[in-house]
Amino acid sequence: MTRPLSGMYAALMTGLADDGSFSPERQRTLDEYVQKQGLAGLYVGGSSGESGLLDVEELLAQQAVVAADAGATGMTLIAHVGAPSLRDSIRLARNAAGLGYHALSALPPHSYPFSDAEILSYYRELQAATELPLIVYEVPIRTGRPIGLDTLVAIMELPNVAGLKFTSTDMFKLSMLRRRCPDATLFFGFDEIYLGGAVLGADGGIGTTYNLLGRLYVALDRAIRAGDLAEAMRLQDISARFVEALLDTGVLPGMKAAFRAIGIDPGPTRAPMLMRLDDGEARMAEVMARPEIARWIG
């Protein structure tokens, strides 16, 4: 069974100028590389794009640049529109709809300790703001707490909600969601253990490291769907070793250093985000030169 929007998506990173401002030019350079990875689509304006550090005007500008870049590629575009203010979320959602995006996504409100009832209300209003399908986002490492299972199911029963991006290691919860929401499209958000999520019913993945290694993740998903467990485990191990290196540098600073190592400069990460290692650039250059990594770059 192939559910709508299924497949592998890069959680698109953001190109920044040297002064930290949004750079359409560097965004286009990133887009050009990522679009050649064979992925199903792009997830625009999420955590991997430093959205929590960008203002609404910058996110609107990024939506427009990516829509223009991807227009002729046939890739599916999902706009992440989760913002601390529902008003801003709706503005981002309607802008994405006007630009021709295919779907929306949003993490739950998290600036305050919102109740499950408030989170349900947020998604009810957001899904009604456009006609686009909405992908809910369960990400406890970002929001500070998981959403209760019954609340998640209630959210996914809303009219325009098509599915869920699940970035959690609670694999039992993922399996319960698969049983209770058989028609929902489920994405798994931890790159380094995608194999586990797919085996438990995820229809695809949305990940940061897909920006660089999209071909690897397409091959990983293909191996899983073909039942080739040995090949899937081999590819997942390459992914896990790459992510392990990023944990030392900081994921986004390390990713941007990795891009520079292959000749693409996405700019700095936005302050206060910093490279965690003095030799982080050299460290990621060494990682990118490893044969098992280099073969997936191009």
- Distant-in-sequence, close-in-space partners of 202: CB < 8 Å, separation ≥ 6: 166, 174, 186, 187, 188, 194
Written as six digits, the tokens of 44 are 């625009």
- Residue 94, Cβ density class (10 Å: 0-12 exposed, 13-18 middle, ≥19 buried): middle
Q: List % helix, strand, coil for the chain (3-state, nearest 5).
A: 50, 15, 35
The tokens of 277 are what?
């290692």
Question: Which residues are the active-site residues?
Answer: 137, 165
Alpha-helical (H) ranges within the chain are 24-34, 56-70, 86-99, 116-128, 140-143, 149-156, 171-180, 194-199, 210-225, 229-249, 251-261, 280-289, 291-294
